[in-house]
Structure formats: structure tokens, C-alpha cells
Structure 1
Amino acid sequence: MTTNPLPPIVDVDTWQRELNALRVREKAATRELDAIAAQRRRLPMVEMPDYTLEGEDGPVRLADIFDGKPQLIVYHHMWSEGQEWQCSGCTGFTSQFTRLEFLDNVDARFVVVTQGPIDEALAYKRRVGNTMTWYSTANSPFGSDVGAPPGGGFAVNVFLRDGDRVYRTWHTNGRGTEQLGYSFGLIDLLPYGRQEVWQDSPEGWPQSPTYSRWASSQDIAAAYGPRSAGA
């Protein structure tokens, strides 16, 4: 007899009835997300100054980070000065994005921008095996102006380019970034979910302190970084 916490065991008809009831809410949530996306497409925008950031090949204008495309998503990676291992949440989140070529089909690009000096940022990118393109705003007010100042948290910004003119169209931070990745979507399908204390779970479900089950930056480097390949 197992001592593990388990959902109730029922017959197939009961299970299907409960699933159908949940499906009504899932479909309503899908339609609400569609409506939110429609509202997002109707947001006004703000014109941006002509910022210069630092890239792997030197200084680069914000308009040129689009690489000729009209749309740009920027993930602002948290940066702690002088630390070997940067934010594990940012490191884990951005490690998901290893195949971004599909954005070419919608004329868009997705990059990382951080407050860390470019040499340190690129060294960290290599250490943890990140495959995205990174830029530094250490010598520019860009990060501070879009909600990601030095010593601040992570954020996502979206921009639209019309010729050399760049506009800010959307911003989020905190849990607003969850919809952009796949990891939590998969975990939330599981019977035990994220197993974190803040989640509403049945009595007896396994629960741990928030973040305690997240991969550390060292774990990510071991899995994806150069040392994982014996370098």
C-alpha cells in the first residue's frame, strides 16, 4: 500500500466528466489570452532615443540590434557586479531558448541585454552555455530607462523599428515573463505542480520552499556549458 499522496481514483466516466469541467475553464483562459494579445497589439508606443549598446563586435546602435528586422524582444538579465554566478532564475529562463530561427518568419529577433560589462557578460554566456545573442548596457542609460537599472530586477521589453526610429511597445517583469517560456507550462501540467509552498495544492501534496527546486546557475553550466563537453 503506497503512502504517497495521490489524487482520488475514480472510474473512466467520472474522470472524463471532471476533465470536461476543467476544459471549460481552460478554454475560457485561452480565449482571455487571445483577447489580451489583441489588446496588446493595440497599445500605443513611445519613441526611444538613439542608444548605443555594446555587443560582441563592439558598440552597436539600438536600431541595429534589430539586425534588419522590424520587431525586437529584449530580455534584461539581472547582473550582480563581481559575482561569478549570476541570477539563477535569469540563467535558467534564458537557457530555454536554443532555437529562435522561427522568429525569422515573423520578422523578429530575441536577444539578451544586461548591465554587466560586455566582456564579463560574454564570458558568463559561454560559461553557462547560453546560445542567445547578448548585449551590454553598462555604458548606456538604456537599461535604466526601460525598467532594468543597475542592481535592479529582470524585465522584458518589446520594440518596433521603422527605419532608424525605434519605439517601445510593451514591458513586463516578475511573473509576467512566465508566459514566454515553456518550463512552467510543462511543470504546471503535472499532478504535483511546482511543489512550492505558495501554490494552492491538496492536503499532503509535496511542497518545498519557493525556488528550492530551481536549477542553480552552476547546475545549468554543468548541463550546457563548456565543461559539460569536457572543455
Structure 2
Amino acid sequence: MTTQALPPVVDTETWEQRLRTLRAREKAATRELDAIAAERRRLPMVEMPDYVLEGEDGHVRLADVFGGKRQLITYHHMWFPGEEWQCRGCTGFTSQYTRLEFLDSYDARFVVVTQGPIDEALAYKRRVGNRMTWYSTAGSSFGADVGAPPGGGFAVNVFLRDGDTVYRTWHTDGRGTEQLSHTFALIDLLPYGRQEEWQDSPEGWPQSPTYSRWPASKDIAAAYGPESQGAT
């Protein structure tokens, strides 16, 4: 018999009634998210300068980062100069995206942008087994102008291209990025949830310091990097 705190045990009818009550709230939240997405589609946009970033094949205009698509999502990966292991939150977040081809049907692309020099950024990408396309904004004010300056935090931006003219349509940072992640969605289904101190949990539930259960970037590299796949 475990000594760890457990949810109360009830009969099936009581459990189903509590579940129906919770699902009513979940459905209401889903409808609210639909309404938010509808409002997002009605946002105005702002025209962007003709930025030049750097990719694996050299310098590239922001309009060409779209790869021929009309819509672009950029994840702005935190970067700490000279560090072997970059932000574990960013490393873990972007490690989720191994298949992005489904965006082709929506005329869209999703890439990583970082303040790190392109050679260092690509080396880090390989080290941790990242599958996304990376660009550097080290020689451009692009990152700083869209909420991801040198030494700053992570962010997500969305752009729309009309010919060679690029417009910024949406931005978020902090916990606003959680809706783009499947990890938290899965963890939040669990009886004990994220097990972090800030969460509202019943008395006796296991709780740890915030971020303490997140994998380190080194652990992500061990799981997804070249060495884990038998590469040399």
C-alpha cells in the first residue's frame, strides 16, 4: 500500500458526475479558445523592414525565410554566448517538432531564429538533435525588434508575406507559448499534474521546485542527438 497521497475513491456514478461537471468547463474553455482564434484572425498587422538573416546557406532576406510559403511562424530560441548548453526550456520545446510537413498544406512554415552566430547555432542544433530549420539574427535587429533581443527571453512571432513585403501578425512569449506545446497538455492530464510548487494541487500532492523536472539540454542531446542515433 502506497503512502503517497491519492485521489479519493468513489463509486462509478459519483465519478461520472464529477467528470461531466469538469468536462462542461473543458468544453467551455474550448469554445473560448475558438473565439480567441477567431479574434486572432481579425488582428491588424504591421509592415516589417527588409531584414537580412543568416541561414545554413548564407544570408537570406526575411521574405525568403518563408520558403515560398505565405505564412511563417518563428520561434526565437534564447541564446547565451559561449555556453555549451543553451536554454533547456527552448531546447526541450523545439525538440518536439520532428515533423512539420503538415504545414505545407496550410501554406506555412515554422523555423527557429536565434541571436547566436549561425555556425554556433547550427552546431548546437546538431548536438541536441533538433530537426527544425535554424536562422541567426546576430547581424540584424530583427530579433530585438520582435521581442527577442540579445540576452532576452524566448518568443513566438507570426508573419504574412505578400510578394516581397512581410507583415507581422501575432506575437507571444512566456507561458503564451504553452498552447504550442504538447508536453504540458499531456502532463496536465495526469492526476499529479506538473508537480510544481506554484500549481494549485490538493494537500499532500507531490510538488517540486519549478523547472526541476524539466530535462536538461544535455539530457535532451543524449535522447535525440547524433550519438543516440548511432551516428559518428
CA shift digits 1:9-65 (9 cap, x unpaired): 011100000000001100000000000000000000000000000000000000000
Which whole-Å CA distance do the structure 2 matches of 1:22 and 1:54 have between them? 48
**1:177 is matched by which residue type in structure 2?**
T
List aligned pairs for 1:121-140, cutoff 5 A: 121-140=121-140
Aligned partner of 2:90 in structure 1 is 90
User: How far is 1:228 from its partner?
Assistant: 1.1
Aligned partner of 1:215 in structure 2 is 215
Matched, 1:180 2:180: yes
Which whole-Å CA distance do the structure 2 matches of 1:50 and 1:93 have between them? 28
Which whole-Å CA distance do the structure 1 matches of 2:102 and 2:12 have between them? 40
SS at match of 1:194: coil
List aligned pairs for 1:1-231, cutoff 5 A: 1-230=1-230, 231=232
User: How far is 1:229 from its partner?
Assistant: 2.4
User: How far is 1:87 from its partner?
Assistant: 0.2
Which whole-Å CA distance do the structure 2 matches of 1:2 and 1:123 have between them? 46
Equivalent pairs: percent with the same residue? 82
User: How far is 1:226 from its partner?
Assistant: 1.1
Which whole-Å CA distance do the structure 1 matches of 2:155 and 2:12 have between them? 44
User: How far is 1:98 from its partner?
Assistant: 0.3
Which whole-Å CA distance do the structure 2 matches of 1:45 and 1:139 have between them? 25
Which whole-Å CA distance do the structure 2 matches of 1:158 and 1:80 have between them? 24
User: How far is 1:227 from its partner?
Assistant: 1.7
Structure 1 residues not aligned, in runs of 5+: none
SS at match of 1:113: strand
Aligned-pair RMSD on alpha carbons? 0.5
Q: If the length of structure 2 is used for normalisation, what is the TM-score?
A: 0.99
SS at match of 2:3: coil
Which whole-Å CA distance do the structure 2 matches of 1:150 and 1:47 have between them? 22
Which whole-Å CA distance do the structure 1 matches of 2:86 and 2:181 have between them? 19
SS at match of 1:127: helix
Which whole-Å CA distance do the structure 1 matches of 2:218 and 2:228 have between them? 11
**2:42 is matched by which residue type in structure 1?**
R
Q: If the length of structure 1 is used for normalisation, what is the TM-score?
A: 0.99
**1:13 is matched by which residue type in structure 2?**
E
In the alignment of these two chains, the number of paired residues is 231
Q: Which runs of 4+ in 1 moved over 2 A?
A: none
Which whole-Å CA distance do the structure 2 matches of 1:119 and 1:18 have between them? 54
